[in-house]
Amino acid sequence: MKLFVQIPCLNEEQTLPDVLETIPTSIPGIDEIEILIIDDGSTDRTVEVAKAHGVTHFVRHTRNMGLARSFRDGVDYALLHGADIVVNTDGDNQYPQAHITELVQPILTGDADIVIGDRQTRTIEHFSGFKKTMQQFGSFVASRAAGLDLPDAASGFRAYSKYSLIRLNIVTRFSYCMETIVQAGYKRLAIASIPITTNAKTRESRLFKNIWQHMFQSGSAIARVYLMYRPMALFASVSAVFGVAGLIPFVRYLVLLLADSGGNHLQSLILGVTLVIAALLSITIGVVADLTRLNRTLAEEQLDMQKLARYGD
């Protein structure tokens, strides 16, 4: 059983030594532990620091490609080099690496395909009250979209089985965190959460400028993936809203007509017809989108076969 611990890095020469020095060197049930550095366009001595600490596996981007692409390229490298489990952590030393031992256990026992480290955001001192609330709300939305119950959907400290990585396909550019959760829920992968602690904050996030950008990007990723995999549920809901709203003007028209209140009340008829047409268009778009989803499912099954051939059984 081979474990790859992959660390996406962007100018992490200051904090990377603390990360590398605290990664477990042995874990019961794991035969080999390899460390992979994904250098996402660093301009400092990140790579030199990693080499000085004995790291031999590198994926390098000549310019910054973003977290999602770094994750995808790291996974491809790890699987090509025989990984059975991939743990993703951060180069800023946010996560205590000792938790890796706990993180991989549900995969080793066959109880989960993906394990997420729950940061217990309510207890993080440097998170503002607003940020804690938004983190909880974001986890609730992502959980609902995936049909799961996850306390910390935004946590990037995760363990993935080889099987789950073959099934997942990253298409967004901002972050893989929300996207993989919605996909995993749709593809019926088993996800577990374990409580973890976090280290003191070392720097501001380089993934987003502020909480508002993070909320927008995360929300967009959830909406896009949900639309990809559950379009009929979305468009049927929109159609139902338009349909119910369209009935109200018709009811008003009939009430006024029976009351003989005078006038032809064409505005009610026009509004009602417009809303009903919108409902019909929504359900039509939903049908087309659902057919596209079916084609996507067939294409992903073919992609799974190609990945199996590429990475081995």
Rounded mean pLDDT for each run of 10 residues along the chain, 313 residues in total:
95 93 95 96 93 95 89 95 95 92 96 92 68 72 77 89 93 77 89 90 62 70 78 90 90 78 74 92 93 88 90 78
DSSP 214: H
pLDDT at 206: 57
The amino acid sitting at 107 is I
Residues 201 and 226 sit within 8 Å (Cβ to Cβ): no
Specify the residue for token string 């986890």.
139
**Sign of the four-CA dihedral 152, 155, 159, 160:** positive
pLDDT at 55: 95
Tokens read off for 243: 């349909």
pLDDT at 58: 96
| CA dihedral of 253, 259, 264, 266, whole degrees rounded to 10 | -10
pLDDT at 269: 83
pLDDT at 204: 61
pLDDT at 130: 66
